[in-house]
Amino acid sequence: MASISGSLGAIAAFTASVTWAFASARYAQAAESAGGVRVNLLRALAAAGLWLSALAIVQGPAALVAVDAQHTLLLAGSIACSYALGDAVFYAAAKRAGISVALAVATVYPLWAALYGAIFRAEAFGALRVLGLLGCVVGVAALLVQTHTNRLNARGGATLGIALALLTSLFWAGNAVCLKLGAEGLTLYQANAVRFSFGALLLLAQLPIKRDLAPAPVATPLAGPTGHARVDPWQLARRLWLPLLADTGLGSICFAYGITHTDLALGATLSSLSPLVALPIAAAMGSERVTWGKVLAVSLTVGSVVLLVAAAG
């Protein structure tokens, strides 16, 4: 039974990376005009509404109160490392270094999560697992960076962008670790309802209310900081409804289940493969040219995933 649960966890973790491959590009595009805080606030509000409603229907409101302080703090730390801080830093990195380059650097976060699991939770971290994890990280990074070297060189502030992407990787590793610890003993409804409720509160606190939410003649805008245009929240929601559904619904289920039903090395790595998923989609759409270098990078990553899963067995 445990092996079945672990296999389902691995499938769920990879499915989370598929949903993020689709949603992240749409979010990053929207963040260029609306700002990262507003995009993530919309994500958190949509997710909080969805999961609080689901919790109330399936388990009843008392299930939310039943979550103790330790679990609550860990889940709050998880969402702070992702929606409230990590993703905002990622958007800043993507603006300076490019989406793909920033994602390639941030993708090293499974290394930090796996090291935590090995050092503090005595999770298996043998030679095969090390090779598989490193192969995944190197393959994904090579896949992205080789395509965007010229774009990276043409951008100003690229060094700062890479530094911010590395900081993002630490936040995302913290998200995986905090979720792993905070969701233990809880249902998916409880864990996600607590996480996203805190995410919405933390992001609301970041909004510069006096300056950016000033009254407008037609409607109250969801305005960004200086440098971002004012954006109607309903218009933004209509623009992002499909990635919101994929991310906050299916993606959050799969990520939480995958991280809690596998060890950190496997779950964090499989949930970080969105760039691998994005390449064939872009190639099929004609927006990405396939080269031998990309084929080798994909082959390395796929082979490393197989090695990693086999080592987990």
Q: Which two tokens stand for residue 251?
A: 């993606």
The partner residues of 222 in beta bridges, in order of sequence, read 231
**Angle of CA points 51, 74, 188, to nearest 5°:** 30
Distance CA 240, CA 233 (A): 10
- The mean pLDDT of 194-207, rounded to a whole number, is 88
- The mean pLDDT of 112-128, rounded to a whole number, is 82
Measure the N-to-C terminal CA separation of the chain; round to a whole number of Å. 13
- pLDDT tens digits for range 49-83: 999 999 999 999 999 999 999 999 999 999 999 88
Phi/psi for 225 (5° steps) reads -70, 175
**Which residues, including other chains, have CB under 8 Å from residue 42's CB and lie 6 or more apart?**
222, 233, 236, 237, 240, 244
Q: What 8-state DSSP symbol labels residue 231?
A: B
The number of beta carbons lying within 10 Å of the beta carbon of residue 120 is: 11
Sign, Cα dihedral of 53, 56, 58, 64: positive
Distance CA 261, CA 258 (A): 5
Provide the whole-model pTM: 0.75
Indicate if the pLDDT at residue 239 is higher than 90: no
What is the maximum alpha-carbon separation in the chain?
Answer: 63
Whether the CB-CB separation of 8 and 261 falls below 8 Å is answered with: yes
The partner residues of 231 in beta bridges, in order of sequence, read 222
Indicate if the pLDDT at residue 16 is higher than 60: yes
pLDDT band at residue 7 under the 50/70/90 scheme: confident
Give pLDDT, residue 231. Answer: 64
Indicate if the pLDDT at residue 290 is higher than 50: yes
Whether the CB-CB separation of 167 and 258 falls below 8 Å is answered with: no
Q: Which of 82, 2, 35, 18 is nearest to 272 (CA)?
A: 18
